Amino acid sequence: MARRKRVMKKHQQMSDLYVHRRAKKGLVEQAADRMTAMFGSVLFLTVNAFFFFAWMLLNSGRLVPITALDPFPFNLLTMIVSLEAIFLSIIVLMSQSRAARIAELREEIDFQVNVQAEREITKILKMLDVIQRRLRIHPAEDKELAGMKRRLNLSTIADQVEHDQQ
C-alpha cells in the first residue's frame, strides 16, 4: 500500500510538473499552439476552400461587371497560398518542437520512476528472501528470481538497447 502511494505521489508530481511546464509557455508558444489548433480544424479548411473558390470565381472573368484583379493563372493567389503554407509550416513546427520537449521530459520522468520502482521491487524480493530463510522455507533454486534480486545495471541495459537497434 505504501509503494502504491509513492507511485501515485510520483505520478502526481509528474502531472504537477507538466502543468507547471505548460504554464511556463511563452507568449509565442501559446500563440503557436492556439494557431495550430485553429489551423487544424475543419472550419479553417472550409474557410480556405471558400476563399480560393471565391478568388478564382471573381478573377476568372465570368462575372461580367467585376474586373479581374488577378487573372488566370492567378499569380497573386499562388503567392498568397505559398506564404500561407510557409507560415503554417513554421507554426506547426514550433508546436511540434514544444510537444517534443514535453515528451522528452515525460520520458525522463517515467524513466526515473521506473528505476525507482525497480529498486523498490529488488528490495522487496530481498526482504521476502530473508523472511523465507527465517521461516525455514527453502524454495527450489530459481535462476530468474536470483537475477531479479541483483541490482539493475543501467549501463548494461543501455548497451543492449543500442546493440538491438543496430
How does pLDDT run across 4-33, given as a tens digit for each residue?
Answer: 666 566 666 666 666 566 556 788 888 888
| Biggest alpha carbon–alpha carbon distance for the chain | 102
Q: 0.85 cut: is pTM over it? A: no
Q: Could you give the C-alpha distances from 1 to 7, 8, 120, in angstroms and in order?
A: 10, 11, 13
CA dist., res. 13 & res. 17, Å (int): 6
Given a contact cutoff of 8 angstroms between Cβ atoms, the answer to whether 118 and 151 are in contact is: no
- Average pLDDT across the chain, whole number: 84
Give me the residue label for grid cell 508546436: 95
If you average pLDDT over residues 131-157, what whole number do you get?
81
Amino acid present at 86: I
